[in-house]
Amino acid sequence: MMKRYRQYLLLEKSLSSNTLEAYMDDAMKLLGYMDDCGIDITDVTLDDLHGFAAAMGDLGIAPRSQARIISGVKSLFRFLVLDGYRQDDPSELLEAPKIGRHLPDVLSVDEIDCIIGQIDLSQREGQRNRAMIETMYSCGLRVSELCSLKMEDLFLDEGFIRVTGKGSKQRLVPISGRAIHEIRNYLSDRCHAEIKPGAEPYLFLSLRRGRPLSRIMVFDIVKDLTAKAGINKTVSPHTFRHSFATHLLEGGANLRAIQCMLGHEKISTTEIYTHIDRSRLREEIVSHHPRNL
């Protein structure tokens, strides 16, 4: 059954490898719990699922992680119904814990310029890092989207790049003139690198190893540059994506346009940036309104 479920996630849902493994792990957590209770997965009831949810809370699993696991559980039961293992779906009325809106740290334009200013262009990787951060910020990319960018995805003369997001969905994203300039400068360095077989299509490479940059490598680069810039915020590659969206909203961009550029399936996901904008508006009022002085 689990082999068939894996095939369902891979072939019918077209999930990325990371998401697929997370869903498989969620399913195994549920199966392990039900096995300990002596309950077959085809006999599970809503009360049994409530017991599973309560057990997650007892184990100290955070609400956000509980919500993700419950999403995986719901996916499993949808499969069980579709594949004929069950006639009903007991997870339909299973509710995930409420999660408060988390407003992520956002960098100002000056802070982004300061981080980029820490890049040492005399180093072999300097121009690559400059192109990488400009592209992340200019296009609002997830770190996985950045690492998977290929040479064939660049349409620099037209001012666009092709991005492969979650679920292998592709979208065209405008790219800034500054990012285009930095990429073209980097490409002259890239062509002198000894590229390992299989890595040729990828844009951003480890110039020393000749392999595609990994997510961990990008995290480490951003962390190092942020520390050198003396910025006391929690900054990750995703922070540049948040900053991209927030700066667009503050500049008057339409929320629907931001949704398309970020690759969000639901507009509700994009609406978090309106909360960020409102919180900044309040800060401005508190700081400058005469009744608050």
Q: Is the dihedral of CA 268, 10, 132, 135 positive or negative?
A: negative
Q: Identify the bridge partners of residue 172 per DSSP, sorted by sequence position.
A: 162
Q: Which helix (H) or strand (E) holds 155?
A: strand 154-155
Is 264 in the active site?
yes
The span from the CA of 23 to the CA of 16, in Å, is 11
Is 238 in the active site?
yes
Choice among 29, 86, 166, 211 that is catalytic: 166
CB-based burial label for 42 (10 Å; 0-12, 13-18, 19+):
exposed
Choice among 128, 130, 190, 241 that is catalytic: 241
Instruction: List, in order, residues 6 or more apart from 285 with CB less than 8 Å away.
Output: 292
Is 242 in the active site?
no
CB-based burial label for 162 (10 Å; 0-12, 13-18, 19+):
middle
Q: Identify the bridge partners of residue 163 per DSSP, sorted by sequence position.
A: 171
DSSP annotation of 40? -
The span from the CA of 224 to the CA of 40, in Å, is 50
Choice among 142, 190, 242, 247 that is catalytic: 142
Choice among 68, 209, 238, 280 that is catalytic: 238
Q: Which positions are catalytic?
A: 142, 166, 238, 241, 264, 273
